[in-house]
Amino acid sequence: MRPTLSWTPTEESAAAVASLDDVVEVVAAGGVLVLSGAGLSTESGIPDYRGDTGSLHRHTPMTYQEFVGSEDGRQRYWARSHLGWRTIARAEPNSGHRAVAELQARGYLDAVLTQNVDGLHQAAGATGVVELHGSLDRVVCLACKRTSPREDLDRRLRAANPGFTAETTRINPDGDVELPAAAVRGFALVDCADCGGVLKPDVVFFGENVPAERVRRCYDLVDSAEAVLVLGSSLTVMSGLRFVRHAAKAGKPVLIINQGRTRGDSHARGRLDMPLGLALTDLARRLPA
């Protein structure tokens, strides 16, 4: 299954142009649910998928079907991710993440849902973050379902592959890097320390469903919110778009801050095309403490 690379916008799907004043007005009323995407983390050095320089223009992420069905696929993923995860783990929250955490602490935001798997919302101080697509800092066994810290797997992979290194050309949002095939061959995999099963990052791959319980929780949070603020997501895939549609159908205002048109524009009151760090820092500054 090839991931959704793009959608075709039409004039009917365009959102009205929003200003920061519009965002201030909605957020000042409180009860806001934030839905964030990869565009929020680009200022931390993690690329997005679908922007002008997004990784999907040159990189097809691992699919669930390939990962579970092919040992060669798992070897390729873990060799690349073994190097790329270190870059993700070293990434620091940017001013956008910090502004979201500040707005939550000041009571303007009721919930934060993120499509990102980098943990930067939590690193900035946000609490109760719902990770729609999971997190790269955890690993799950597909057999016994036990989860464990990524640091534990990293130590085991280092021991199994002493001296493994390669020149990496670029990091991808899913935590892997581009590697030549020769660098992948011979990379040793490790199995679950408890049952010997296949280990997978605790993230939702393309072609895999978000767990139903997590989806229901997100719908409940949308139902409880007064408004939805989308940050840095093209909403190309249904995993995030469905919550925007649900909010709009219920008559809740939806505002989007994203550099470029999104698949959710027609459901939004308006979209502000502005860098996230600048917009969110200014938003926090303009709201009463």
For range 36-46, the mean pLDDT: 94
Residues of the chain above pLDDT 90, percent: 76
- Compare 151 and 51 and report the one with higher pLDDT: 151
Q: Return the minimum-mean-pLDDT range out of 4-8, 83-87, 135-139, 284-288.
A: 4-8
Q: What would the pLDDT profile of 272-282 be if each residue is shown by its tens digit? A: 999 999 999 99
Answer yes or no: is 223 a known binding residue. Answer: no
pLDDT at 256 over 70: yes
Answer yes or no: is 175 a known binding residue. Answer: no
| Six-digit token string for 159 | 């021991």
Q: What would the pLDDT profile of 163-195 be if each residue is shown by its tens digit? A: 887 666 567 766 778 787 888 888 999 999 999
Answer yes or no: is 224 a known binding residue. Answer: no
For range 18-37, the mean pLDDT: 97
Q: Return the minimum-mean-pLDDT range out of 32-36, 44-48, 187-191.
A: 44-48
Picking from 169, 170, 173, 192, the residue whose alpha carbon sits closest to that of residue 74 is 192
Domains of the chain: 15-46+93-133+209-289 (3.40.50.1220), 58-90+136-203 (3.30.1600)
Cβ atoms < 10 Å from Cβ of 68? 15
User: Would residue 97 show up in a list of annotated catalytic residues for this protein?
Assistant: no
Picking from 51, 37, 113, the residue whose alpha carbon sits closest to that of residue 259 is 51
For 5, 48, 277, 285, the CA distances from 205, given in Å and listed in that order, are 14, 15, 27, 37
Paired residues of 138 in beta bridges: 149
Would you say 233 and 265 are in contact if contact means Cβ atoms under 8 Å apart? Answer: no
Q: What would the pLDDT profile of 57-81 be if each residue is shown by its tens digit? A: 345 678 999 999 999 999 999 999 9
For range 13-34, the mean pLDDT: 92
Name the active-site residue from 97, 121, 133, 267.
133
For range 211-240, the mean pLDDT: 96
Answer yes or no: is 41 a known binding residue. Answer: yes
For range 256-264, the mean pLDDT: 95
Q: Return the minimum-mean-pLDDT range out of 45-54, 121-130, 152-161, 279-288.
A: 45-54
Residues of the chain above pLDDT 70, percent: 89
